[in-house]
A = this chain, B = another copy of it.
Amino acid sequence: MAVLRHSCGIVGMFAAYDVVPSLHRALLVIQHRGQESAGLSVFDGDEILTARGDGLVSVALTKNKVAGLSGKCGIGHVRYSTTGSKSLVNAQPLTVETAQGTVAVAHNGDITNFVNLKKSYLECGWSFLTSSDSEIIAKILSKYLARLNDPVEAIRCTMSELDGAYSLVIMVRNRVFGVRDPYGFRPLCIGKANDATMVVSESAALTTLNLDFVRDVAPGEIIEITDNCIVSHVTNTNLSPAHCVFEWVYFARPESIIDGGEVYDVRKRIGATLAREAPADADLVISVPDSGRAHAIGYSLESGIPYEEGFMKNRFADRTFILPDQKMREDAVSTKMNPIKSTVNGKRIIVVDDSIVRGTTLVKLIRSLKSAGVKEVHVRVGYPPVIAPCYYGVDMKSRSQLIAYNHSVEEIRQIMDANSLAYISISGLVDAIGLPKNSLCLACVNSKYPTKISGETFRR
């Protein structure tokens, strides 16, 4: 069970009607991608209006806060801070006044040359009000908007200065653009109805809003949407894509389809592959809910070992302070997840988890299973050992936190007190995803980075 924070979710929309309700709903659908702040910007025919705030959509974008907003085009954002602190100033969309009027920008990803870019612009006499990489994107864009009439050209020039992972939605007054970096690290797809178009991080939002899925934005592509059409401004790129594998394994919602891969199906196939690669003699397959459920069902269907719910998750315990108990009878994990004793007692159990990054939670869950009378615990992990940090927007930046960088599989098994432990192979994972290996970013499991990162191996 990864407990990673995503980098962000973004959405842009243009319709023949007020887009605020739809943007609000879309943000709810992609809320899992960012829970620290949320925001909306719309062009009301005259100016860009923005509502932003800390916390979930339900807190940041209350009825009161969006009451004054309406417009036929707009963009939205939900956010985790991978760079920039948690302050409100960093909430997005970021709006800036430029030579071509107000521009709003929302960003998902990490700019790898952020520090160098910032340094060189500071030396040019620029200054920065926030610590987020979205501000530098907006400022470089502003620079080009002052020189070039065509916003598309300005975006293209901006992209030429940026390295790393970025899916963007950009609103230049009343024009809405969707942009994906040349590697396509982070997802971005396009939806359409008769009188509305949308670009959004995940297709689940299109389903909810009853828009037809059109296609993914291509790596390096700039898309412009209007109320009835989609214009593609292709940027030529000879680069192989490098889609982040973690989107399918953990980040995205099961019902989303990302770059052609149906997430739930990918996860089931991962489970099935695990069942073939690492069978176990056991009575029951259980998952670590909710993220490992599809993997576990796949394992069960392939192995023929029955699937059951082995843990009960307490959704009220998230985001709640838990008082330290001086008796130390139990820890916070047991408030958040409990084994269902009647299911697991006396059984040999296969626990399927989507991934192991730090491994701390799983240790406690296995202990709780043993307390509940489980005879054997066989851990099967739907993601290869994570041995290298991510520079493209996933919150695992330091090798010291990665249990698999520091320990062998056998050592991890002993730490977890599991009867057996097996990870899926890299090739098994790639096959389950169903895309060519050279179109995926596997840097965190094979240390080969698609872009140049100082001190790391460049894959090409």
Contact = CB atoms under 8 A, between A and B. Distances in A.
Given A306-B301, A321-B63, A340-B264, A316 B56 contact: yes
B209 A329 contact: yes
A24 B321 CA distance: 10
A265 interface: yes
Contacts of A460: none
A330 to B, nearest CB: 5
A264 B127 contact: no
Given A309-B294, A342-B262, A99 B128 contact: no
Contacts of A262: 341-342
A124 B146 contact: yes
Interface string A313-334: 0111101111111110110001
A31 interface: yes
A326 B22 CA distance: 10
A307 B307 CA distance: 8
A227 to B, nearest CB: 12
B207 A323 contact: no
Contacts of A257: 342
Given A58-B321, A98-B127, A127-B139, A255 B25 contact: no
Given A317-B28, A335-B28, A343-B264, A142 B127 contact: yes
A442 to B, nearest CB: 23
Nearest to A211: B329
Interface string A249-291: 0000111010000111100100000000000000000000000
Interface in A132-188: 135, 138-139, 141-147
Interface string A22-39: 101100110110010000
A390 interface: no
B25 A323 contact: yes
A129 interface: yes
Copies of this protein chain in the complex: 4
Interface stretch (A87-95, A346-354, A420-428): A87-95
A20 B35 CA distance: 29
Contacts of A129: 94-97, 129-130, 135
Contact of A255 (B15, B139, B144, B341): B341
B309 A264 contact: yes
Contacts of A103: 127
A339 interface: yes
A176 to B, nearest CB: 18
Interface in A418-442: none
A56 B130 CA distance: 24
A225 interface: no
Contacts of A211: 329
A446 interface: no
Nearest to A22: B325
14 contacts: A22-B327, A28-B322, A35-B316, A96-B128, A97-B127, A123-B146, A208-B334, A208-B338, A210-B330, A254-B340, A255-B341, A257-B342, A262-B342, A297-B307
